[in-house]
Structure 1
Amino acid sequence: MPTPQTILRATDLRFPADHPTAAGHFPGNPVIPGAVLLDAALTAIAGAEGRDLGPCRLRSAKFLRPVRPGDRLRIEWQPTSAGEIAFTGSVEGRPVMSGRVAP
């Protein structure tokens, strides 16, 4: 019997050009802070899955490139065999973040 394949799920988020965190991170070179990216990703995943992920255990998180106000962040995720959720984020096809969370 073939093993079922895991379906990759995805959603897009856009951070407005006037996002409130951009003013302080960093004047003249604004970026969306990693904590905000992580919160937005986990909130989007929880909403799409129809469940609450908090409190949860963040197993790993890496921030690879800055996300700027006005960027469209593509979040993709899938469950792992260990019962976690693995997720990635990209802007214009370039990876910007990755991580795993255990609900």
Structure 2
Amino acid sequence: MNNVTHWTVPLDHPAFAGHFPGTPILPGVVLLDTVLHAITAATGIALDICEISSVKFLSPANPGDELVIQRVISVGGTIRFDIVAGMRKIASGSIVPGSPA
């Protein structure tokens, strides 16, 4: 079973223009959007309505970083994810599909 998605942060991602000039890092909202899309594409689970029940940003994602998005789906349906770049953990969290906002 493959519970991993690979994504390389584009060197020219538009979010870098304002976040932050001279020291670009990928905003957390972009990381979360990427996670949601990666999980939906890989599993078919619709996450257009979900609750991100927890998230921790531990290290910045930089232009060109090769990110690995790991996911584990519990019996109850909660999706646990980790984002890593090499030996650095970028972020981790939990998503509950279909939860009202």
Superposed CA RMSD in Å reads 1.2
Asked whether the 8 Å contact 1:8–1:77 carries over to 2, the reply is no
| Post-superposition offset of 1:93 | 2.4
Distance 1:8 1:100 in 2: 18
Report the TM-score when normalising by structure 2: 0.90
Tell me if structure 2 keeps the 8 A contact 1:32–1:66.
Answer: yes
TM-score, normalised to structure 1, is 0.88
Counterpart in 2 of 1:49? 43
Of the candidates 30, 43, 56, which is equivalent to residue 24 of structure 2? 30
Percent identity between matched residues is: 43
CA distance in 1, matches of 2:96, 2:56: 16
Q: Structure 2: which 5+ runs fail to align?
A: none
Question: After superposition, what is the alpha-carbon deviation per residue over 1:46-92, rounded to whole angstroms, capped at 9, x for unaligned?
Answer: 10002311110111011000001111110000112432000000001
Larger radius of gyration: 1
Number of aligned pairs? 97
**1:84–1:8 CA distance, 2 compared to 1 (3 A):** farther
Segments of 4+ moved more than 3 angstroms: none
Q: Distance in 2 between matches of 1:76 and 1:8?
A: 9
Are 2:77 and 1:83 equivalent residues in the alignment? yes
Q: Does 1:66 align with 2:60?
A: yes
